């Protein structure tokens, strides 16, 4: 019995020593204050692990794993030791992949792809120096396509310095064009054409600096005109006000849609 007790005490002492030795090897800084080696941090006021990874001269290197408070993986970011490039995977609390993309330093770069909890593609977008620059593509989910591996395009648009700029186009699930138009520095400007599911014109919208401006015309599924409404800088004009304004434009040689 004494031998067993002595063995147990020795085992506990050894385990405690190994634990202390292990903790003494993490979260270290060198003489100049730079982080070195393995680091692990918990959430405030909790023993739940927040992240673990490696540093070299204060720079994260290799794989860092971040956790939700319930210990599920929140993200995995792998840092290139010889550059400022990092590859990131983010996860829903239910463990499904949310997003995948690249960082340059701490800024998003290149194409980022986002996913729905169903596994379907949600959208992809292009970054440069942390800002949206380039094409953004939005995809249909399970309501339109069964196989989550299939990218069924819903919308394509373009961004410059974080703002929508340039043409956009939207599609019905069968590929027929649903709508098309353009943005200028983040605001709707110009004509937007919206179609019926058969591809025929449904409505012709006109915008100026994010406000309705000009004739808005609606059509039936055979593209026969159903009616039209006139807007002047976001305000609908009718009756005598409309007639007077149109006559004024004619005298000035101006188009009502400009």
Q: How many structural domains compose the chain? A: 1
Calpha distance 194→204 (Å, rounded): 6
User: Which of 198, 253, 201, 191 is closest to 226 using CA atoms?
Assistant: 201
* pLDDT at residue 24, as a whole number: 52
- Between CA 224 and CA 60 the distance in angstroms is 63
Domain assignment of residue 87, yes or no: no
Angle at 219 between CA 217 and CA 224, to 5 degrees: 120
For CA atoms 16, 22, 28, 30, give the dihedral sign: positive
Q: 100 with 111: CB under 8 angstroms?
A: no
Q: Is residue 149 part of a domain?
A: no
The confidence score (pLDDT) of residue 112 equals 98
198 assigned to some structural domain: yes
Cα separation, 54 vs 64, whole angstroms: 7
Q: 77: which 2 tokens?
A: 């970011």
- Is residue 193 situated within a structural domain? yes
Q: What is the pLDDT of residue 45?
A: 84
Beta bridge partners of 99: 90, 114
- Helix, strand or coil, per DSSP, at residue 18: helix
Look up residue 129 and give its two tokens: 């120096």
Q: What per-residue confidence (pLDDT) applies to 14?
A: 38
Contacts for 19 with CB less than 8 Å, ≥ 6 apart: none
pLDDT, one tens digit for every residue, the chain (258 residues): 433 433 433 343 334 333 433 445 789 999 999 999 999 999 998 899 999 999 999 999 999 999 999 999 999 999 999 999 999 999 999 899 999 999 999 999 999 999 999 999 999 999 999 999 999 999 999 999 999 999 999 999 999 999 999 999 999 999 999 999 999 999 999 999 999 999 999 999 999 999 999 999 999 999 999 999 999 999 999 999 999 999 999 999 999 998
- 217: domain range? 189-258
Half-sphere exposure of 109 (CA within 13 A, CB side): 11
In a domain, 209, yes or no: yes
């Amino acid at each position: 019995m004494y031998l067993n007790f002595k063995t147990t005490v020795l085992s506990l002492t050894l385990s405690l020593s190994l634990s202390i030795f292990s903790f003494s090897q993490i979260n270290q800084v060198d003489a100049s204050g730079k982080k070195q080696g393995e680091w692990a941090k918990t959430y405030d006021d909790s023993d739940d692990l927040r992240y673990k990874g490696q540093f070299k001269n204060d720079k994260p290197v290799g794989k860092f794993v971040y956790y939700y408070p319930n210990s599920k993986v929140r993200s995995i970011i792998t840092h290139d030791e010889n550059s400022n490039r990092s590859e990131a995977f983010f996860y829903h609390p239910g463990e499904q992949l949310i997003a995948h993309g690249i960082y340059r330093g701490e800024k998003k770069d290149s194409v980022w792809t986002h996913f729905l909890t169903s596994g379907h593609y949600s959208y992809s977008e292009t970054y440069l120096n942390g800002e949206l620059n380039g094409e953004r593509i939005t995809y249909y989910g399970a309501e339109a396509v069964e196989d989550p591996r299939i990218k069924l395009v819903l919308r394509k648009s373009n961004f410059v310095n974080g703002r929508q700029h340039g043409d956009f186009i939207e599609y019905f699930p069968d590929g027929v064009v649903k709508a098309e138009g353009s943005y200028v520095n983040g605001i709707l400007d110009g004509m937007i054409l919206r179609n019926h599911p058969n591809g025929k014109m449904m409505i012709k919208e006109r915008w100026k600096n994010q406000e309705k401006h000009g004739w808005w015309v609606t059509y039936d599924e055979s593209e026969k005109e159903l009616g039209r409404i006139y807007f002047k800088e976001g305000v609908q004009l009718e009756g005598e006000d409309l007639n007077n304004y149109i006559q004024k434009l004619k005298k000035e040689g101006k188009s009502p849609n400009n």
